């Protein structure tokens, strides 16, 4: 019995993906905790909505109230650890520390899983371990990562769903693809723009996909209807609020085309942007390898993310959804630059 246990433990310690997940968690948790500790959730409408959902207060914003996954997970953590977390509350913290900390735990784990998915996507695209991990650092050091991991918002699960969809299509992995189909509509209504990419580019037969999407739609609309009935809210009010996002298009398009809008979008990558630019100049093979990242399913993904951006009140945060592609592109750039630089190195 003991040798078997030791063998299993040794196998666990040698599992590459566990260490990548822990690396992501270590990279994320410090900045996320600092933001959580100093963030005034009472001044953020999004945070108040999700915290209300975690406490099963159903009378919430019609835009966000149908995204139950993160709030319910945070509420479960709070129900188990709330009293202990209350003892840890800093004296200067405004609000419910236990609930905020519960969101921090859930979101940090989900973002770290997203980091693992991004790393795996890089490996599937042929990146060596070091470059796949360095590419993942683009997401881990992005200015939006501490916000999504450290505050009571629900973006983390939608990021993970998009990553699962991309990895599932690349690996031809049925489990990941089907999980994305069923989780996506509960993570964010804008999954409606991701669904067609899965439908037309995944490996699954179309008849099965029709069944999966039909069942997923039935579940999510059944949930929304039941939610409205239980909460005593007008059925269909959420759909009207979703349709109202069309009013953002003109203003967001104007902002996107401005200098400040371009800066907001590009600041997702920050100085990491110099690496793909440098590789495109110095390594012709890199430019060739980039072609799949703006054609086919990935080309439609960029278009989908653009739709997310012009329909959202925070378009720069929606660009964050492109991190799986940006990370792999940057990891590829590093790998190509290393191949260019290494032969020119001389002994000291």
Cα(116)–Cα(219) distance, integer angstroms? 28
> What is the structure's pLDDT at 5?
65
Compute the distance between CA of residue 107 and CA of residue 175 in angstroms, rounded to an integer: 22
- Angle at which helix 129-140 crosses helix 16-38, to 10 degrees, equals 20
Q: What is the pTM of this model?
A: 0.93
Name the nearest CA neighbour of 33 among 101, 116, 129, 130: 101
Q: Evaluate whether 77 touches 106 at the Cβ level (below 8 Å).
A: yes
Q: What does the pLDDT profile of the chain (348 residues) look like in tens digits?
A: 455 666 766 777 778 999 999 999 999 999 999 999 888 888 888 999 999 999 999 989 888 999 999 999 999 999 999 888 888 888 888 788 999 999 999 999 999 999 999 999 999 999 999 999 999 999 999 999 999 999 999 999 999 999 999 999 999 999 999 999 999 999 999 999 999 999 999 999 999 999 999 999 999 999 999 999 999 988 877 887 777 778 878 888 888 888 888 899 999 999 999 999 999 999 999 999 999 999 899 999 999 999 999 998 788 899 999 999 999 999 999 999 999 887 655 443
Which two three-digit tokens encode residue 298? 């990935």
CB atoms within 10 A of CB 341: 11
Give the separation between CA 306 and CA 30, rounded to whole angstroms: 31
pLDDT 10s digits, 221-277: 999 999 999 999 888 778 877 777 788 788 888 888 888 888 999 999 999 999 999
pLDDT in tens, 101-134: 999 999 999 999 999 999 999 999 999 999 999 9
The answer to whether the Cα torsion of 206, 212, 218, 223 is positive or negative is negative
Q: Are 82 and 99 in contact (CB under 8 A)?
A: yes
């Amino acid at each position: 019995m003991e040798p078997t246990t030791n063998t299993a433990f040794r196998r666990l310690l040698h599992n590459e993906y566990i260490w990548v997940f822990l690396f992501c968690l270590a990279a994320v948790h410090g900045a996320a905790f600092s933001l959580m500790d100093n963030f005034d959730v009472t001044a953020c409408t999004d945070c108040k909505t999700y915290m209300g959902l975690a406490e099963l207060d159903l009378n919430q914003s019609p835009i966000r109230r149908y995204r139950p996954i993160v709030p319910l997970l945070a509420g479960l953590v709070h129900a188990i650890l709330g009293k202990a977390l209350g003892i840890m509350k800093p004296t200067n913290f405004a609000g419910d520390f236990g609930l905020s900390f519960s969101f921090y735990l859930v979101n940090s784990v989900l973002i770290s899983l997203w980091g693992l998915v991004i790393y795996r996507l890089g490996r599937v695209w042929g990146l060596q371990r070091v470059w796949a991990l360095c590419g993942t650092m683009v997401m881990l050091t992005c200015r939006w990562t501490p916000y999504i991991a450290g505050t009571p918002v629900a973006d983390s699960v939608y990021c993970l769903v998009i990553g699962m969809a991309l990895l599932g299509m690349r690996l031809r992995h049925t489990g990941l693809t089907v999980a994305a189909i069923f989780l996506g509509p509960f993570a964010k209504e804008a999954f409606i723009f991701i669904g067609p990419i899965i439908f037309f580019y995944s490996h699954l037969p179309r008849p099965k996909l029709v069944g999966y999407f039909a069942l997923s739609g039935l579940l999510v609309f059944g949930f929304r209807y039941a939610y409205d009935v239980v909460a005593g809210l007008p059925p269909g009010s959420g759909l009207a609020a979703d349709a109202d996002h069309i009013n953002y298009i003109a203003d967001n398009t104007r902002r996107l085309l401005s200098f400040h809008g371009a800066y907001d979008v590009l600041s997702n990558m920050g100085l990491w942007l110099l690496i793909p630019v440098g590789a495109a100049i110095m390594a012709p093979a890199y430019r060739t390898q980039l072609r799949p990242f703006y054609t086919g399913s990935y080309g439609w993904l960029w278009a989908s993310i653009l739709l997310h951006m012009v329909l959202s009140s925070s378009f720069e945060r929606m660009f964050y959804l492109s991190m799986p592609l940006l990370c792999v592109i940057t990891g590829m750039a590093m790998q190509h630059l290393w191949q260019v630089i290494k032969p020119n190195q001389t002994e000291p």
